[in-house]
Amino acid sequence: MNTWQIINLVLTIIVSLLVAYQGLYVIIGLFWKKKFKDTNVESSYGVLIAGRNEEKVIGQLIDSIKKQNYNQDKIKIFVVADNCSQNDKTADIARKMGAVVFERQDKEKVGKGYALDFLLSKINENYPDYDPDGWFVFDADNILDVNYVKEMNKAFNSGGGNIITSYRASKNFGNGLFAMGASIGFIRDCRFLHTPRTILNISTVVTGTGFLMPKRLINPKTGWKYSCIVEDSEFSMDVIGKGEKIIYCDDAIFYDEQPETWKATYRQRMRWQKGAYLIYKGFAGSMILKFFSKFSFTIYDNLIYFTPVPIISTSWALLNGFIAVVTSFLKMLMGYPVGIEILSLIGALAFYFVMLYLGLFIYGSLAVIKDWKRIKATNKKKFIAMFAYPIFMISIIPICFIALFSKVEWKPIEHKEAINIEEINKIK
């Protein structure tokens, strides 16, 4: 072995040891889940919904909240119609369905984080005595299973005063390869990230929507302090760094709409990837210091989670390829035969991508098989999704590099899957 091969081997061993514990996560996710005990306590909840031009879907979300198997007197819905166009009916529909609605126009402070802060400030101004036990956050395209609040209430009253996230299913799983890939990504997170972390008493993260916070952390008086383009990740890292815990409730199911085109997928992933870099830049230093001062596995695990692994691994593979090409070129100039070396390089790159595909295929397929009955799509589409998922993930790798050098702003994703909970439950 030459020096470069030894360096590669050593680095491979080190990285493998750093992430080996995630194999345990997969085993736990396949065979266990956290169950919360029934409770007679019915806590009160405020619901926060931020929507921009969401007239096609806001009604289905509010309808699903109204149909909850839970005391409706304990639930109050607040909507911010944020920067909606003049002809959009998001605010009108929400009001007619019984929600408290505030409208906001601000072209400077754009994004969900600013909208949530505005909504909380308006609640504080207009309902100063309203003091629920906790606050839900949903996106306007979400739809809740009828037992969603009931199951979240069990977790909320299980002790600890934790933040709770929930099972993110897809209401348009079968609508094309992009929707399939994104849907499996969230199923994978629920099964192999949130579930094992909660079972092992490790804090997980919230992913955009479908989560519940106790009033001591977020309320109308304190507002929403997180305005990054990925405000959910900013919130997660901040509260985890302060010693708070985010747990997962697998029996609380909500449905979300996934992008169905490359353009929408590109826009969404660019924002997420750029946001991940900003979060890592903003929190990595302090989290590393906290890890060495507290030796907290939760902090270590979340540092690994937010580390930009795709860009690091792909960059390293490209660097190896570049070195091999340069070395072969120099040998060719010196008169040495390099045909075998070039073939070896091509073979190594092919092997890398084949193994990457197989690894992603196994990872995604295990999640699909485990949650087969929960996925709202035909069996044929579930099988197609298993083979499409690795291609979807590999196609995102260039975005990781583009996001490094691009300025990314928050832009809304159009939602058009106007379907109610009864129609979702009929999908087989």
The CATH number of residue 181's host domain is 3.90.550.10
**What confidence score (pLDDT) does residue 119 get?**
97
**What confidence score (pLDDT) does residue 419 get?**
82
**What confidence score (pLDDT) does residue 395 get?**
87
Q: Considering the domain boundaries, does residue 40 fall inside one?
A: no
Q: Considering the domain boundaries, does residue 380 fall inside one?
A: yes
Q: Considering the domain boundaries, does residue 39 fall inside one?
A: no
Q: Considering the domain boundaries, does residue 330 fall inside one?
A: yes
Q: Considering the domain boundaries, does residue 38 fall inside one?
A: no
**What confidence score (pLDDT) does residue 24 get?**
94
**What confidence score (pLDDT) does residue 213 get?**
96
Backbone phi, psi, residue 134, to 5°: -155, 170
Domain that holds residue 415: 1-32+45-428
Name the stretches of the chain with pLDDT < 50: none
The residues facing 49 across adjacent strands are: 79, 138
**What confidence score (pLDDT) does residue 311 get?**
66
Residue 368 CA: distances (Å) to CA of 110, 173, 182, 189, 230: 36, 11, 12, 12, 27
**What confidence score (pLDDT) does residue 341 get?**
60
Q: Considering the domain boundaries, does residue 121 fall inside one?
A: yes
Number of domains in the chain: 1
Whose CA is closest to 428, among 365, 378, 367, 354? Answer: 378
Q: Residue 377 and residue 294: Cα distance in Å, rounded?
A: 45
Q: Considering the domain boundaries, does residue 280 fall inside one?
A: yes
Q: Considering the domain boundaries, does residue 314 fall inside one?
A: yes
